[in-house]
Structure 1
Amino acid sequence: MKGLKGKVGIVAGGGRGIGAATARRLAEEGAHVVIGDLMGDWAREVAESIRSTGGTATGIELDGTKADSQAAIVACAVETYGGLDFYHSNLAGGTGGDNDILDCPEDVLDLSFAINTKSHFLATQAALPKMLERGGGAMIYTSSGAASGGAPWQVAYPMTKNAIHALARHVAAKFGKKGVRANVICPGLVLTEAVRQHLTDEYVERGLAAVPHVRLGQPEDIAAAVTFLASDDGAWVNGQVWHVNGGAQMRD
């Protein structure tokens, strides 16, 4: 894709799954990638695998729910590679105990908010000043099809994922004239390590049956969309929510 060679980017939540696949794809396109993950060893393993194939990457520990940790990963990108051009904010989780509105404890809501909303807010606060110094950049957020799916079995996760859409539109509207783009990816059912570990074969089979496609998603499918949005090929995409889901939800 155009314009990624030599660019500097961060992938938060890059130790496994979608984030790891995205970091590898960005490095293949010539970007310098800083990979952050709560499991710092995972981030460093992904970075090492990228370097072993000729790419440029650094892995560090990141607690995305803490402002000082977000500031530290941005500082790492700037100090190691000279600036920051894009940030893929890819943290998600906190679904344990998240049932219907009458059966969702307050602490479950608080945890979901911290991981799925606050982390993206803090990432943006840390990254934007450095992007503005470069004359622009791209914020790319991972949300979820759950944000618009209307599932009866979850309430906090869809609520807190929806907030990301408002954040991205705010950033696009406020800073678009200064060269910053902000967009959201909503994956469908993607067969990451976590999905394979926690979902039953029956659930996966039902998921495939519900999708008008020949297969379910792979992390590389989302990585391709994120990489496009980070690249110059995606230069005129701003303030959008993209559903990358094999057709599971068909939305304007």
Structure 2
Amino acid sequence: MDNDEMRVVVVTGAGRGIGEAIARRLVDDGWFVVAVDRDAASVERLSADVSPERLRGVAVDVTDRAAVFELFADIDRDQGRVDAVVNNAMWVRYAPIVEMTEELLDGMFAIGLKAAFWTTQAARPAMVRRGSGAIVNVSSPAATRGFDGSSAYSAVKGAVSSFTWQASRELGPEGIRVNGIIPGAVPTPGARAVVDEEGYEIRRTMNGLRRLGTPEDIAAGVAYLLSPDAAYVNGHLLNVDGGL
């Protein structure tokens, strides 16, 4: 399959957890995946495990607008297209409102929200040129529910949901679909840094299936939103949460 036939997707935060599962699922679905993470070692490991004809790992700080635009220009030049983006990157720190520092707040908004603006801006020209494209933003149940210590995280994910709806209106006429996915509780290494076993037991009992999610569950939802089966789905937030 040459570059003219293989769809190209950029997945941010692809070095581990849900992002890695998304990257692997999309490779299996026939995409050429550009797996982006600021941790070079993680994407190098992923690249070594997947054929270079199907996946390229790149270490990029997605909060750096110039670096993001340079990345997408490189992809468009090398692959001849950019068909989709999955904005998965996030940095999570829980703290009470009164203890939230400027550094923590700025860091979460930069990675979780501003980076989604930069990738959307950078991907748009290649998508407009082809008359089609798809963007999936990863939000959270915390966008609409209160959880102890999650004020900053909830604010970021609430903004991501709002950005998804707005972008779907602005970019839809150009053939670019913008949707979001809302994962339920998935005990990835990153998530376990802020949620303990007691917290996960509570989350397990809160949903109808009475089980925690897996990264592959979330990847399947993303795969659907990027697939031809979702060609008329735009501005939608897909809950993949076991019935939370």
* Same fold (TM > 0.5): yes
- Aligned partner of 1:105: which letter? T
Match of 2:24 in 1: 24
The equivalent residue for 1:241 is: 237
Structure 1 portions without partners, runs of 5+: none
> Residue 49 of structure 1: CA displacement?
1.5
Q: What amino acid is aligned across from residue 23 of structure 1 in structure 2?
A: A
For residue 116 of structure 1, the aligned residue among 108, 112, 118 is 112
Worse overlay, 104-113 or 192-201: 192-201
**What is the CA–CA distance in structure 1 between the aligned matches of 2:239 and 2:176, rounded to whole Å?**
21
- 1:188 CA displacement: 1.4
Q: For 1:113 and 1:228, locate their aligned partners in 2 and report how far apart those are by CA, in whole Å.
A: 27
Q: Does 1:99 align with 2:96?
A: yes
Q: Which amino acid aligns with 1:218?
A: T
The more displaced of 65-74 and 133-142 is 65-74
Contact 1:34 1:73 in 2 (8 A): no
Partners of 2:158 and 2:194 in 1: CA distance? 23
Listed as ranges, the matches of 1:67-82 within 5 Å are 67-82=65-80
| Residues 160-196 of structure 1 deviation map (CA, whole Å, 9 limit, x = unaligned) | 1111122222221112122100011111111212234
Contact 2:169 2:235 in 1 (8 A): yes
Structure 1 outlier segments of 4+, above 4 Å: none
Residue 247 of structure 1 aligns to a residue in which SS?
coil
Contact 1:37-1:63 at 8 Å conserved across structures: yes
Number of the residue aligned with 1:172? 168
Match of 1:181 in 2: 177
* Counterpart secondary structure, 1:237: coil
The SS at the match of 2:108 is helix
Q: Letter of the 1:62 partner, please give it.
A: V
The aligned counterpart of 1:190 is 186
CA–CA separation in structure 1 for the residues paired with 2:201 and 2:237? 27
TM-score, scaled relative to structure 1: 0.89
Instruction: Determine the C-alpha separation between the residues in 1 that align with 2:104 and 2:33.
Output: 32
The one-letter code of the counterpart of 2:131 is G
Mark the CA change 1:152 to 1:200 in structure 2 (over 3 Å): closer, same or farther: closer
Does the CA-based 8 Å contact 1:8-1:33 persist in structure 2?
yes
Bigger Cα displacement from structure 2, 8-17 vs 40-49: 40-49
CA distance in 1, matches of 2:78, 2:217: 29
Q: Secondary structure at the match of 2:61?
A: coil
Q: How many matched pairs?
A: 240
2: CA distance, partners of 1:120 / 1:86: 13
Shift of the 195–106 alpha-carbon distance from structure 1 to 2, 3 Å rule, reads closer
How many Å apart are 1:103 and its aligned residue?
Answer: 3.1
The change in CA–CA distance for 1:67 and 1:166 in structure 2 (over 3 A counts) is: same
Q: Secondary structure at the match of 1:51?
A: coil
Give the aligned partner of residue 64 of structure 1.
Answer: 62
**Deviations 1:87-111 (Å, cap 9, x if unpaired)?**
0011111415x323x3322332222
TM-score scaled by length of structure 2: 0.92
Q: How has the CA–CA distance of structure 1 residues 59 and 188 changed in structure 2, closer, same or farther, with 3 Å as cutoff?
A: same
Unaligned stretches of 5+ residues in structure 2: none
RMSD: 1.7
Between the two proteins, what is the percent identity of the paired residues?
Answer: 35
Question: Is contact 2:93-2:194 (8 Å) kept?
Answer: no
- Contact kept in structure 1, 2:143 and 2:161, CA below 8 Å: no
CA shift, 1:207, in A, is 1.8
Are residues 200 and 156 of structure 1, via their aligned partners in 2, closer, same or farther at CA, if it must alter by over 3 Å?
closer
Q: Distance in 2 between matches of 1:138 and 1:244?
A: 19
1:123-151: CA deviation from partner (whole Å, max 9, x where unpaired): 11111111111111001111111111122
Q: 2:110, 2:192 → 1: CA distance?
A: 25
